């Protein structure tokens, strides 16, 4: 195991987003704050049907989780995409780093960015809300696995995309719908039954619901089922990243 090499790649991937803090940390925080302002005034003190939670409080964990997931995805996908355009991925291939080490470093950096964004958002939003940390382990488990899954999808997306258009396509037609329709803005109990069932096939739904459960102590899913689904999704994503990087999928002739 080339630990020092793996650590170097991790710190490179982390310094890369810290060098452009405005885009990578301040911008997502601002977006989330704008969502909250809009919903605060649009929804007032209304409660989420069936949950006895103020809609505003319900929204915050979902938005934080969405920001974490989007940032984890952006970190890996943009790094690999820019690397491809600059022909820079050759340095990774020439270095004595195994596919496992590369995957580990990329995903750890994605999780780091997601956690920084989450902490910043929670600190900014804390004065406006009554939510508190009810189950820290749930918040950490779903926050980290969600970032790993999305960081991994970003890696795969980065490898798959040949152009920024491909990347935009992936973002707009797969990532955005899956995150938006996974219960960030509503409780699935508000949905027609068919949609409720459909949601149970969306791993993002479990992630957001579980993360929110950690703050609100209420949720739409069965916790043990959620843990199994999320663990399987995390493991499969990591394995897919490892396998595809090892094969040099769309990177190596």
Partner 1 sequence: MSYALEVKKLTKIYKNGKQALQGVDLSVPEGSFFALLGPNGAGKSSLINILADTVHPSSGEVTLLGKNLFTERKWCKQRLGVVPQEIAFDPFFAPRDILKIMSGMFGVKPDMKWIDELLERLELTEHAKKNARQLSGGMRRRLLVAQALVHKPKIVILDEPTAGVDVELRKRLWGFMRELNDNGTTILLTTHYLEEAEELCDQVAIIDQGKLLTSQSMASLLDSVGSSSLVLEYHENMTMTDTIQNKLAAFSPRIEKNTVSLCLKKNDSGQNNFNDAYQTAIALLGEAKSVSVQNEDLEDVFLRLTHNGNTV
The residues binding partner 1 (CB under 8 A) are 2, 4-5, 7-9, 11-12, 15-16, 19, 82, 86-88, 90-98, 248, 252-253
- In the complex with partner 1, the residue whose CB is nearer, 78 or 147, is 78
- In the complex with partner 1, the residue whose CB is nearer, 89 or 187, is 89
Rounded to whole angstroms, how far apart are CA atoms 3 and 89? 19
Q: Smallest gap, in angstroms, from Cβ of residue 240 to partner 1?
A: 19
Query: Do 76 and 106 form a contact (C-beta atoms < 8 A)?
Result: yes
Rounded to whole angstroms, how far apart are CA atoms 118 and 85? 30
- In the complex with partner 1, the residue whose CB is nearer, 94 or 194, is 94
Looking at the chain, list the stretches that DSSP marks H as alpha helix, in order from N- to C-terminal side: 3-19, 21, 27-43, 55-85, 89-94, 99-125, 136-160, 164-170, 176-180, 193-199, 203-216, 223-247
- In the complex with partner 1, the residue whose CB is nearer, 102 or 114, is 102
Q: Smallest gap, in angstroms, from Cβ of residue 44 to partner 1?
A: 45
Q: Smallest gap, in angstroms, from Cβ of residue 164 to partner 1?
A: 15
- In the complex with partner 1, the residue whose CB is nearer, 2 or 231, is 2
Q: Smallest gap, in angstroms, from Cβ of residue 10 to partner 1?
A: 10
The set of residues, in sequence order, having a beta carbon less than 8 Å from that of 138 and lying 6+ positions away, is 210, 211, 213, 214, 223
Q: Smallest gap, in angstroms, from Cβ of residue 108 to partner 1?
A: 15
The set of residues, in sequence order, having a beta carbon less than 8 Å from that of 96 and lying 6+ positions away, is 2, 5
């Amino acid at each position: 195991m080339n630990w020092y090499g793996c650590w170097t790649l991790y710190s490179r991937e982390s310094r890369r987003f810290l060098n452009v803090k405005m885009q990578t940390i301040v911008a997502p925080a601002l977006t989330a704050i704008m969502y909250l302002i809009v919903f605060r005034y649009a929804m007032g003190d209304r409660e989420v049907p069936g949950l006895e939670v103020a809609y505003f409080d319900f929204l915050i964990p979902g938005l934080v989780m969405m920001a974490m997931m989007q940032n984890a995805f952006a970190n890996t996908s943009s790094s690999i995409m820019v690397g491809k355009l600059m022909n820079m991925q050759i340095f990774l291939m020439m270095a004595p780093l195994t596919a496992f080490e590369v995957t580990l470093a990329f995903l750890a950096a994605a999780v780091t960015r997601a956690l920084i964004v989450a902490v910043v958002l929670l600190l900014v939003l804390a004065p406006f809300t009554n939510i508190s940390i009810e189950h820290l382990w749930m918040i950490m488990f779903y926050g980290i696995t969600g970032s790993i899954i999305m960081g991994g999808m970003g890696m795969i997306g980065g490898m798959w995309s040949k152009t920024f258009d491909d990347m935009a396509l992936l973002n707009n037609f797969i990532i955005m719908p899956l995150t938006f329709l996974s219960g960030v803005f509503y409780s699935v109990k508000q949905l027609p039954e068919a949609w409720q069932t459909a949601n149970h096939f969306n791993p993002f739904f479990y992630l957001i619901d579980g993360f929110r459960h950690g703050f609100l102590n209420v949720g739409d899913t069965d916790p043990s089922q959620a843990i199994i689904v999320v663990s399987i999704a995390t493991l499969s994503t990591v394995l897919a990243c490892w396998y595809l990087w090892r094969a040099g999928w769309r990177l190596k002739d």
